[in-house]
Structure 1
Amino acid sequence: MHLLLRLGERNGKPDYEPVHVEPVAGHRFRVLYSPGLAYGMAAGDELEVDEEGRYEVVARGGNLSVRLLCGSGVADMEPSLTEQIERIGGRLDGQVRAGLAYTIPLSAGRDVIRRIFAKAKLENPGALWEYGNVYDEDSKLMEWLRSVA
């Protein structure tokens, strides 16, 4: 099932992303695929979601969400990058013309992940990558990672 999670506002109106989830209990849901736009979560995390789509992560699944974006498109780089991510236990969760969303187990190590994506960026200078659930809106390491970083 999909839930519309609130991203914020655009042109004065609420903006949402549909995210694949499974119900856990009440207003609690488990994320099945790391989203491409919604921040703070990865596949395996559990969310509390209100009627307006605002969400809070209430349990972590031990995964990192990583996104790669490239205005000229990602089709050429996807096969090689996905192969590398699969070798460290990750998976491709979503693809659009200009972006890829991956779920990677935290146990793979952030240094290994950084090397893979830095190489992809070097080979594709227009690309950029980011974590979706590592840093908060002030660019500080999120609390859940401080004990394992």
Structure 2
Amino acid sequence: MSQTQQLPVIAGYNDNNDPVVEQVSAIAVEGHPDQFRLEKSPVFVRGLASGDLIRYPADNTGGYELLEHSGNLSIRVFSKHNIAELDQALTPDIELIDGTRDVCSPGVLIYSVHVSIGFKKIEEVITAVLKRFPESVWYYGNVYDPEDGQTPLNWWQDLASSV
């Protein structure tokens, strides 16, 4: 069994045009030294979620190439509240819809939930809890085009048509 590796992936660029790098947790795919399956959804790298298959390194601005979506949605929750309280309130509800908490750090929670649960259900669960935490916001990490943040990527439609 392969060991977890930390891959330095470019999450974006700061005002000085220096790369902002996030260490992404992944497991090498046996027989493919440049392919990795993500163990967790990243905090800042957009377009990826746990279980996704990537080629690393790749000669592009992010340093990786997405080869296959796992079907998981990356959900990023940012908060000025006590993250432990938010974690206690939100994580059990995410787990009830078969989601997992990937990251719990000061100010941020990252979850992975399979797209088959449905966007509406996921949004209802998150919105209901965050009403009690008004200084918190959430975003999908791999639903919208990283360039404009608005255009749906629609990768989930490929999954739905293959079933």
- Give the TM-score taking structure 1 as reference length: 0.91
Unpaired runs of 5+ in structure 2? none
1:2 aligned residue = 6
How many residues were matched structurally?
A: 149
The residue type paired with residue 37 of structure 1 is: F
- Give the TM-score taking structure 2 as reference length: 0.84
1:42-121 matches, within 5 Å, as 42-50=49-57, 54-121=63-130
The residue type paired with residue 50 of structure 2 is: A
The residue type paired with residue 3 of structure 1 is: L
Unpaired runs of 5+ in structure 1? none
- Helix, strand or coil: the match of 1:123? coil
- Helix, strand or coil: the match of 1:69? strand
2:28 aligned residue = 23
Deviations 1:68-112 (A, max 9, x none): 101233221111211011111111000111010001111111111
Using the alignment, how far apart are the partners of 2:19 and 2:82 within structure 1? 27
Q: Is the 8 A contact 1:31 1:45 kept in 2?
A: yes
The residue type paired with residue 124 of structure 1 is: F
CA drift of 1:14 comes to 1.6
1:40 aligned residue = 47
Q: Is the 8 A contact 2:74 2:111 kept in 1?
A: yes
CA drift of 1:121 comes to 2.2
- Range with greater deviation from structure 2 (139-148 or 12-21): 139-148
| Structure 1 ranges of 4+ moved more than 6 A | none
CA drift of 1:144 comes to 0.8
Instruction: Compute the RMSD of aligned alpha carbons.
Output: 1.8
- Helix, strand or coil: the match of 2:131? helix
Using the alignment, how far apart are the partners of 2:9 and 2:121 within structure 1? 30
Using the alignment, how far apart are the partners of 2:7 and 2:57 within structure 1? 11
CA drift of 1:51 comes to 6.1
Using the alignment, how far apart are the partners of 1:120 and 1:135 within structure 2? 23
